[in-house]
Structure formats: C-alpha cells, structure tokens
Amino acid sequence: MTPTMIGVIGGSGLYDLDTLTDKRWTKVSTPWGPPSDEILTGTLDGVPMAFLPRHGRGHVHSPSTVPYRANIDALKRLGVTDVISISACGSFRETLAPGDFVVIDQFIDRTFARDKSFFGTGCVAHVSMAHPTCPRLGAACLDAAQDAGITVHDGGTYLAMEGPQFSTLAESRMYRDSWGADVIGMTNMPEAKLAREAELCYASLAMVTDYDSWHPDHGAVEISDIIRVLTGNADKARALIARLPALLGADRAPCPHGCDRALDHALMTAPDKRNPALLARLDAVAGRVL
C-alpha cells in the first residue's frame, strides 16, 4: 500500500479549488521547463491533493502551447498517484448534451504540434496505449459524478484536435459519422500518453459545452455559448472532486490494471547506450525503472 495523492488538471473554466484545506500555491521546477502555472496543494478530507490549471490562471496557454510534459512531470514529482483530467469538449451525439459529463475511455489523437513523449534518442521506450485510461480511476469518477447528481455517461471516444480553431462542418461530420468519435476536444493528448509514460493512473472527464458544428439545429460553435455552459460545469466539477477522497481512500494498492508499472517492459535502449543527459531528465517520471 502507498499513500494516495490525487492530482486534478483543471480545464477551461476551472482554475482553482476552493474546497482544499491548508492550501498553498507551490512553484515546481522540472527538466522540461515550467508547468502551466504554480500547483495548488492541500488536503481534502485528509487526502493530499494537487490542482494544476491546464491553461494557467487567466487562461494564458492555448491548447498547442500547454507544457504537457512539464505538467505531468511536476505532478509526479510532487508525489501524485492518480490524475483526474477535466476538460471542456464538444459533443457528436444527441444524447451527450451540453452540461453532461463523459468518462472517457478511448482517444483518437489528431494533434501534431506537440511534444508527445518523455523518451527519445538515447532512451527509447514504447508503452501500451490500447486502454489509455485507468478503469479503476474512471469508475471512481463515475460514482462521484452520480453521487453529485451530475448527468454522466460511462465511456466515450475523445477526438483530440490541434486547434485552436474549432472544426469545419466537413471535419465535424467525418469525426462523428465515419470515425465514430463521441466528443471532441483539444487538450487530452498528449496528456494521456505522458501520464502513461510517467506510470500515473489517469482518468478523463469531458464536460460537454456544445454540439460542435455537425448539429443542424445548433450551427456553428459560439464561444459565448460555451463560456455560459463552462460556468455551470465548473461548479459540477468541484462537487465531483469533493467526493473523490472518500472513494479512493488514503492508501492505495498497486493498480490492478498495471498503470503504475507501465514501464516494466517498455525500455528498448540497452543500458550502455543510454544518454546520461536524458536519463537525468527522466528522474521523476521513470526513476522506478532506471
């Protein structure tokens, strides 16, 4: 058993957690540069928690410029064991209405302008992404949402686009009809991939704000409409987060799905061929196996 520490990455509209006790904003340095912002640390019902606003307070980072590697490294460096990613998204399904939450279990990654791995020349690694989220952690988020009275859907495929522009109508129809995506957003990739490389349990909660552009009765996405829904979703997210400590507990066993052992067989580069400079940067995310 190891102590639980919950890490929450807040998306658009969620920039603070006022429910934490003993809270303080902590500056964390990483070998990958500074994270999006200082990290709010504290406790909630006796369980340590760290909150990181993905876009920074004041929303200063676009989806493409979020320092994803620094964010995940900083959380791991603080001792986080379980990461809850909360993000706004558009919906491709009538049944996933604005204001609803979706517990994501699959991704389609269409991003192209971001650093997607901690590893590379000098230390090559390949982790499995067949099941990119942690079922144990996703189930806890589902229970917390239901207990908070949130309309929540269990399972969905998240299409991660580069942005920052919203989809064209043709793209929206393709993602929905041909590719089978359920929601669309701009920030869960490469975040989920990096969390897996860092051996962190990762769950994604998508907060629906709109129907993207495919819906004949809603037309183009309007940022004013999204902001209005974001406000209500942020309050729901805080209510959900408040219920997680009781569900996850103060101590945790090894992940039954192996998230915390993702690097066991992932490293490919022979020990005598590994780059010492890169190994030094991997001290937090891969220290267990190096």
Catalytic residue among 212, 217, 260, 283: 212
Q: CB of 52 within 8 A of CB of 37?
A: yes
What is the average per-residue pLDDT within 12-22?
A: 87
pLDDT for the residue numbered 213: 80
Q: CB of 14 within 8 A of CB of 86?
A: yes
Map tokens 């890490």 to a residue.
Answer: 7
Q: pTM score, two decimals?
A: 0.95
Cα 232 to Cα 75, 244, 252: the distances in Å are: 27, 19, 32
Question: Can 212 be counted among the known catalytic residues?
Answer: yes
Question: Can 182 be counted among the known catalytic residues?
Answer: no
pLDDT > 80? residue 10: yes
Rounded Cα distance between 183 and 88, Å, is 10
Catalytic residue among 210, 217, 235, 251: 210
Q: What is the pLDDT of residues 222-255, one digit of tens each?
A: 667 777 778 778 889 999 999 999 999 999 999 9
Rounded Cα distance between 162 and 122, Å, is 28
Q: CB of 194 within 8 A of CB of 263?
A: no
2-281 falls under which CATH superfamily? Nucleoside phosphorylase domain (3.40.50.1580)
Q: What is the pLDDT of residues 73-122, one digit of tens each?
A: 999 999 999 999 999 999 999 999 999 999 999 999 999 999 999 999 99
Beta strands (DSSP E) in the chain are 2-3, 6-10, 21-26, 39-44, 47-53, 82-91, 101-104, 106-109, 152-154, 157-160, 183-185, 201-210, 251-252
